[in-house]
């Protein structure tokens, strides 16, 4: 299986922070980051870092701990990520 992934934009990440009404510290914890300064490296202007799929997936799973994998992927898409799962040639359960 291959995965095509494009991360959410910094503005989409800032919008997520506003929707959740989280502080920078809370966002850092949600994404498994050491500090709010690290969070700003992903959500800031200038030359921001791209959010990795594992980090984004972790946040989605933590926000809804009963979600299925597909539901977490849908959440990732809802915050601006592009995720295409190529399952060509694989057997589906």
**Distance of alpha carbon 51 from alpha carbon 71, whole angstroms:** 19
| 5-33 per-position pLDDT tens digit | 999 999 999 999 999 999 999 999 999 99
Give the per-residue pLDDT at 88: 64
Backbone torsions φ then ψ of 66, nearest 5 degrees: -100, 5
Kindly indicate the confidence band of residue 47, based on its pLDDT and cuts at 50, 70 and 90: confident
**Distance of alpha carbon 85 from alpha carbon 14, whole angstroms:** 26
What are 48's two structure tokens? 């921001």
Measured distance between the N- and C-terminal CA atoms of the chain, rounded to whole angstroms: 14
Element (H, E) at 82: strand 82-86
Which CATH class name applies to 2-86? mainly alpha
């Amino acid at each position: 299986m291959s995965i095509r992934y494009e991360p959410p934009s910094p503005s989409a990440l800032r919008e997520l922070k506003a929707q959740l009404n989280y502080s920078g510290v809370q966002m850092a914890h949600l994404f498994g980051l050491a500090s709010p300064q690290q969070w700003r490296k992903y959500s800031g202007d200038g030359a921001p870092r791209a959010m990795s799929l594992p980090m984004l997936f972790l946040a989605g799973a933590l926000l809804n701990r009963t979600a299925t994998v597909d539901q977490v992927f849908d959440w990732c898409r809802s915050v601006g990520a592009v995720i295409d799962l190529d399952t060509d040639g694989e057997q589906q359960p």
